[in-house]
Amino acid sequence: MLEEIVEAINKKIPEANATLNKAEIGDSTINVDSKYILPVCKFLKTEKYFNVLQVVSTVDYLPVEEKEGQPAQEGYIEVCYILASYSKNLELILKAKLPRGSAENLPKIDSVCSLWSAANFQEREAYDMMGIDFVGHPDLRRILTSQNWEGHPLRKDYVVQEVFNGMVVNPPEKMNLPDQQFGVKNNANSMSNKNPMGM
């Protein structure tokens, strides 16, 4: 089923360069070029019966440094559009890769709000949690955190801000054990008894 869809996308929009990630365990996915996400989605909606956008999920991959035998890899962010077709009973995970960008220069991708209204809240959440700028979104504000919150919590290198609106975010007397804290996995070197949050 997925092979046919990849073929159809490549026939209609060859620039999108759709490829199939076949998985032995779990779900297979389709990768497309992030610049052509809007035409691909439009094609899937109008001609391939994927009339429902269920969720926009985002994944952050940190850059990997060069190790023995393993080449260095650049970090990237994956935006997964999980679509469903109710008439054909199908499900599809469509992925687009973006560079990680920086706090001032967030990665950009076209918004699909014009196709599905569901994208409105989903993309706001992706912006809030992962820091992705959806170009053409009618109302791109933070949704789950406060409007003046700093950083994007689901990024893998996220560190909680120290003070928010005059309140200490993580007072020492309320901290849990260090091994349960966020960021421990990634900031293992900065861990010390004195400073369990790496702050």
Partner 1 sequence: MSYELTPEEKSESPVKEDKIKSDILTVNMGPQHPSTHGVLRVEIKTDSEIVTEAIPHIGYLHRCFEKHAENVDFRGVLPFADRMDYLAAMNMEWGWCLAVEKLLKVEVPRRAEFIRVIVAELNRIASHLMFFGTYSIDLGAFTPFLYAFQEREFILRIFEELSGARLLYNYIWVGGVWNDINDDQLKRISSFVTRMEGEVEKYHNLVGLNKIFVERTANVGIMNEELCFDYGATGPVLRGAGVNWDLRKNRPYGIYPEFDFNIPVGTGEKGTLGDCWDRYWVRMREILESVKIIRQCLDGIESGPVMGKVSKIIKPPKAEIFLRTECPRGELGYHLITDGNKEAYRVKVKSSCFTHVSMLPAVSPGLMIADLVATIGSIDIVLGEVDR
* CA 133/CA 142 separation, integer angstroms: 11
Are 191 and 182 spatial neighbours (Cβ–Cβ below 8 Å)? no
Q: Binding partner 1 by CB under 8 A: which of 2, 38, 52, 159?
A: 52
Work out which of 14, 15, 23, 162 binds partner 1, going by CB under 8 A: 23
Residues 138-197 that bind partner 1 (CB under 8 A): 142-146, 153-154, 180-182, 184-185
In this chain, which of 2, 8, 59, 159 binds partner 1, going by CB under 8 A?
Answer: 59
Work out whether 2 is an interface residue with partner 1 (CB under 8 A).
no
The SS3 call for residue 54 is strand
CA distance 8 to 18: 9
Q: Nearest Cα to 103, choosing from 151, 57, 155?
A: 151
Contact 179, 188 (CB under 8 A): no
Q: How many CB atoms are located within 10 Å of the residue 122 CB?
A: 22
Binder among 117, 148, 165, 193 for partner 1 (CB under 8 A)? 117
Question: How far, in Å, are 77, 135, 136, 193 from residue 156 at the CA level?
Answer: 10, 23, 26, 22
- Are 97 and 78 in contact by the 8 Å Cβ rule? The answer is yes
Between 105 and 189, whose beta carbon lies closer to partner 1?
189
Q: CA-CA distance, 89 to 44, in Å (whole number)? A: 14
23 or 135: whose CB is closer to partner 1?
23
Q: Which stretch binds partner 1 (CB under 8 A): 12-20, 69-77, 83-91, 161-169?
A: 83-91
Site for partner 1 (CB under 8 A): which residue of 60, 100, 109, 110?
60
DSSP state of 79: E
The answer to whether 54 contacts partner 1 (rule: CB under 8 A) is yes
In this chain, which of 1, 25, 167, 188 binds partner 1, going by CB under 8 A? 25
The answer to whether 109 contacts partner 1 (rule: CB under 8 A) is no
Q: Which two tokens stand for residue 39?
A: 């035409």
Between 24 and 68, whose beta carbon lies closer to partner 1? 24
**Residue numbers at the binding site for partner 1 (CB under 8 A):** 23, 25-27, 29, 51-55, 57-60, 80, 82, 84, 86, 89, 91, 93, 116-118, 120-121, 125, 129, 142-146, 153-154, 180-182, 184-185
